[in-house]
Amino acid sequence: MSATLKNPVIKLKLLIDEEKNKVVFVEAGKDFVDLLFSFFTLPMGTIVRLLEMYKKSQKIAIGCFSNIYASVVSMGIEHFLTEACKQMLLYPGSLNHEKCRNLKLRVDDSEATKYFVCPKFVEREQCTESYSNFNTSRCSCGVLMNEVTQLDGRGGLASAGNGVEGGVFVRSDHTSFMITDDLKVEITSVRLTLNVLKDLGYVDCEKLDEKIHDVNLEEVPTLLECLSTSDNPLTDTFLKKKSSYSTKRIQKLPSPGLCEDREESTPDQTITLNVVKKEGNILFVECGDDFVDLLFTFLAIPLESAWGIAGDGIIIGCIGNLSKSFKDLSVDPGREAKCVLPHYYKCQKQLLDAVTTHKPPTFYLYVSSMASNHIREYRLSEDSSKPLVYFWDELMPMISIDPKSKGSTNTTDESTIPSGGFMKRGTKFMITDDLIITPLNSTSTIGLVKEKQIRLDDVEVQEIIIRKEEAIRLLQASLVTCSALSTGLLAIESASTSVPQSANLKKPKIET
């Protein structure tokens, strides 16, 4: 019995075309649909990290996202505003994280959000009445806030949606779903079954065979990978085929937005393009911290929001089909393009205005202490009236500290002042067309010109203002192409950009 608890499985009924060795469709319960929908709640950075973790041998590229993530990995800590900034980009936090813990199978191995307070809190008067989600923040008394606390009362929030039966993401008034090989999810019905079969060209069920399959944890990363890399994710995952390649393309070319037709220009939102004249593509850009903050924010955006903001006009594997089903069958019909990130992603300048941050909750700290041996335990509670053993007569309200701000001795409500972004202010960066981001220096510039074998007089310098439209186009291009800057900013499909290493990735096609 314990084996099932340790190794949970989800039962599926596969309908297989034996001749073609292909899954026609799958009949599944809520657990499996929830698993599929949960992929959309994963931050892009988490998807990259998971895919790389499970597939060590072969690099899986979602457009340029692997490069953005790799840039965070290799960027020295001295270039970030605080240590927490690098941490929150490598392991992006998600407001759906608690919900995902209720899934029968989940792919994300991220730890639950942690809460830290100053270990000296009860002894010192000058301590800030704050908690932090990172153990690298400093209290106003100067001590690292590294005392991890338990958070009570999360049960209510974490429990499943509205349904009695408890679907995590899927509306739970139905128990059986049909999922086609290209990830269209619908509620099972006889009529639907017949229609799907007819649409696929089956006149009878001679060659079709039913098979019960137990989905285990090992198959989940494959399924996540196939979502973006395959046009037949179920066949490729459950019949272990690696035959199909995903369609990746831009249907609508984004229109370029060069400086001329813009009235206002704020100097720090302008980036310098180094364009190869002959080919017209961007060799690299020079930019300041705000632009890098924008690209790094992409990692914190969940797939559903990235798709909501930038998915219009692009095709990546079966993401579009599953996204539509998610919207139709979600517990929360308001799930839309609005992207709410945990509060610590708040940047002073948020170029992507569809991205907002969650207001950090106020928690109440109570301290239980055993006087005899001076063992103290801090706990945080959502509920100010919770009658438990505590040290003070009243519970201390604790606000969240901004882990992006350096610990200051000033307690005047630090958390309300928006800090900068993730990067140290005033730093200049160089970004290649495929979004490899490094601090700017002459060595890297010369190296790149050499590597690409470009004549110096063939490089032209242009300036461009980055505003909302450019930010959206960049996100769109980053999802699909490996020449995100040229495609997103100049609407050029570059021929000379680096070819993706993944054999599964087709060169993006552009339809006009």
The footprint of Zn ion (CB under 5 A) covers 118, 120, 127, 139, 141, 143
Q: What are the DSSP calls for 357-400, one per residue? A: EPPPPPEEEEEEEETTTTEEEEEEES-TT-----SSSSPEEEEE
Residue 345 dihedral angles phi and psi, to the nearest 5°: -90, 0
Strand ranges in 216-362 using DSSP code E only, listed in sequence order: 248-250, 270-276, 282-287, 314-316, 339-341, 355-357
Nearer to Zn ion by C-beta: 129 or 279? 129
For Zn ion, which is the closer residue by CB, 141 or 430? 141
Q: What are phi and psi for residue 48, nearest 5 degrees?
A: -60, -45
- 348: CB partners within 8 A, 6+ apart: 418, 419, 420, 421
Q: Please, which residue, 118 or 485, has the CB nearer to Zn ion? A: 118
Measured CA angle at 164 (ends 161, 169), to 5 deg: 30
As a whole number of angstroms, the distance between CA 101 and CA 109 comes to 10
DSSP string of 147-211?
Answer: EEEEEE--HHHHS--S-SS--SSB-TT---EEEETT--EEE--HHHHHHHHHHTT-SSSTTEEEE
Nearest distance, CB of residue 121 and Zn ion, angstroms: 6
Distance in Å, CB of 144 to Zn ion, minimum: 9
Distance CA 272, CA 287 (A): 6
| Cα angle 438-441-443, degrees, rounded to a multiple of 5 | 105
List the helix and strand counts (H, then E) for the chain. 16, 21
Q: Which of 30, 159, 169 is nearest to 98 (CA)?
A: 159
- Nearer to Zn ion among residue 82 and residue 228 (C-beta): 82
Give the nearest distance from C-beta 508 to Zn ion in angstroms: 52
Minimum CB distance to Zn ion smaller for 117 or for 464: 117
Nearer of residues 125 and 206 to Zn ion, judged by Cβ? 125
CB of 341 to Zn ion, least distance (A): 27
Using the minimum distance from each CB to Zn ion, give the nearer residue, 141 or 329: 141
Closest CB to Zn ion among residues 141, 250: 141
395's tokens: 């519970």
Residues in the chain: 512
Helix (H) or strand (E) holding 73: helix 65-74
- Least distance (Å) from Zn ion to the CB of residue 119? 8
Select 39 or 121, whichever has its Cβ closest to Zn ion.
Answer: 121
Nearer to Zn ion, 251 or 409 (CB): 409
- Tell me how far, at minimum, the Cβ of 93 lies from Zn ion, in Å: 24
**Closer by beta carbon to Zn ion, 118 or else 490:** 118
Residue among 139 and 352 whose Cβ is closer to Zn ion: 139
Task: Report, in Å, the least distance between residue 407 CB and Zn ion.
Answer: 10
**Residue that has been written with the tokens 């927490």 in this structure:** 84
* Smallest gap from residue 154 Cβ to Zn ion (A): 25
In angstroms, the CA 385 to CA 30 distance is 37
Q: Which 8-state DSSP code applies to residue 126?
A: T
Query: Taking the CB of residue 266, how many other CB atoms lie within 10 A of it?
Result: 11
Q: How far is the CB of 223 from Zn ion (least distance, A)?
A: 46
Q: Quote the CA–CA distance of 222 and 335 in Å, as a whole number.
A: 26
d(CA 197, CA 219): 26
Q: In angstroms, what is the minimal distance from the CB of 360 to Zn ion? A: 19
Instruction: Name the 3-class secondary structure at 268.
Output: helix
Instruction: Give me the least distance between CB of 373 and Zn ion, in Å please.
Output: 22
Minimum separation from the CB atom of position 393 to Zn ion (A): 21
- Edge to edge, the sheet with strand 248-250 lists 314-316, 248-250, 509-510
